[in-house]
Amino acid sequence: MSSEEARAIELLGRVPYGRVATSMRALPFVAPARHIVVDGCVLLRLHAGLGYHHACLGSVVAYGADNLGSGEVDVWSVQFTGTAEPFEPTAGELALFGDDPRAVDGEPFDPVYMRIEPQFVTVHSLDYSKERQLKYVA
């Protein structure tokens, strides 16, 4: 695992949700998903009722997460690209996912799980510290 991949995995562990992106009927879409990282793979939980998993399974997808709304000085964004495959989570993995939402768009939550083994990993960072901003003003 490269240092960038290790950094991306570490950052992903700091936030519980991200967005999975692929295309459905030749149109791009982005859907929210809960994630955990196990053995270098990104494991996702989505709501089956939306049907997005049908477009993802067996296809190359991008999964991204960030801390953009956190108010932190160091802002980051990670993206993993790989093939999404179905999987059945173990009891330990289910515990890591935590509680299911009660509903999605007003209908009862029906979980579906996917595994992404990252093929490409990208990490972006933005530094909003005051010290750095003052250098640019001077």
The answer to whether 96 and 22 are in contact (CB under 8 A) is no
SS3 content of the chain, % helix, strand, coil (to 5): 25, 50, 30
Please state, in angstroms and rounded to a whole number, the distance separating the CA atoms of residues 12 and 69.
15
- Give me the pLDDT at residue 131, please: 62
The answer to whether 21 and 61 are in contact (CB under 8 A) is yes
The model's pTM is: 0.85
- Give me the pLDDT at residue 24, please: 84
- Give me the pLDDT at residue 1, please: 73
CA distances from 50 to 27, 56, 57, 104, 114 (A): 15, 12, 14, 9, 15
Please state, in angstroms and rounded to a whole number, the distance separating the CA atoms of residues 37 and 121.
14
Please state, in angstroms and rounded to a whole number, the distance separating the CA atoms of residues 93 and 43.
9
Low-confidence ranges of the chain (pLDDT < 50): 138
- Give me the pLDDT at residue 132, please: 52
- Give me the pLDDT at residue 133, please: 52
Strand, helix or coil for residue 138: coil
Helix residue ranges, H only, the chain: 3-12, 52-56, 91-97, 130-137
Q: How does pLDDT run across 3-34, given as a tens digit for each residue?
A: 888 899 899 989 999 999 999 888 899 999 99
